[in-house]
Structure 1
Amino acid sequence: MNQFSNKNYFTMPNEIFSLGLDASEIAVYAYLRCLENRRTYQCWPSYTTIGNAVGRAKNTVMRYVDALAEKGLVSTEPTSVLMRSGIKKNGNLRYTIRPIREAIEIFHARQLSAVERAAERQQVQRKLSEMDLLPGA
């Protein structure tokens, strides 16, 4: 039996440390990985449950979850619960852990875009400087 097939263990991709995440984002991601169903890659913890696990307030966890979704590490979708009274209420988010390679591709694309924007700004600055040096300008 593989040591990682035990439900008391979970793996973390090594690449998680190359995506510029802060420690709290890594903690939230790790907690979601810990809870995920290994076949569907999904879990449903509340913000409060996540916050209790990682030592952060609900509102702070909400920001970290949004950051993880923006970085392509997780996707979220709302769920609903039908109460015994027949009233439909909002449930917890359904988290799907995304393949790490997608997050890496997003990260690299954003880095490349930032470098391209910086190069464009430098080019504009250089042209503006040249214009200021021209006589009669």
Structure 2
Amino acid sequence: MKYRSHGNFFSLPNEIFLWGLNSGAFAVYSFLRRCEDRKTHQCWPSIKTIGKAVNMSENTVRKYIRQLEERGIIATEPTEIITKAGGKRNGNLLFTLRPIQEVIDEYYARQMDEMELMVERQRVAKLLAKQENPA
């Protein structure tokens, strides 16, 4: 049987495996990626919809959304809807999936900062050791 593509698929960047995501965060990110508008990099599925799609409770989905936000992979914004009666209510979150290259650049910059800090700590430790034990 020959496979035919009808456009019912989405891609994930290979770099996602560098981010150290656990399976829950990976699943939530994957679903958001599936929903995103490829031009704006935004989507607004409800927490309930995400939970049903990835088989998680709404609280668990919220936890993984926070993790993705903390890592700078996504950004969220609250939205409002106007009811038929004219009142305002909270809408779904607006998710923006950050460009992959930005996330990767920040990841490597954080690693470099950590390495520079480690080198500086080692330098200071050597200086202190010399002061304590002058030869």
Name the counterpart of 2:13: 13
- Runs of 4+ in structure 1 off by over 3 angstroms are none
Deviation string 1:5-52 (CA, Å, 9 cap, x unpaired) is: 61x211111111122222222111100011112333221112232223
**Equivalent residues in 2 for 1:44-123 (5 A)?**
44-123=44-123
TM score, norm. by length of structure 2? 0.84
Kept after mapping to 2: 8 A contact 1:46/1:92:
yes
Pair 1:13–1:121, CA change in 2 (3 A): same
Q: Report which stretch shifted further, 110-119 or 57-66.
A: 57-66
Name the counterpart of 1:22: 22
Query: How far off is 1:122 after superposition?
Result: 1.5
TM score, norm. by length of structure 1? 0.83
Residues 1:132 and 2:132 are matched in the alignment = yes
Query: How far off is 1:114 after superposition?
Result: 0.9
Letter of the 2:98 counterpart: R
Letter of the 1:120 counterpart: E
Name the counterpart of 2:39: 39
Letter of the 1:85 counterpart: A
Root-mean-square deviation over aligned CA pairs: 2.1
Unpaired runs of at least 5, structure 2: none
Identity across the alignment (%)? 45
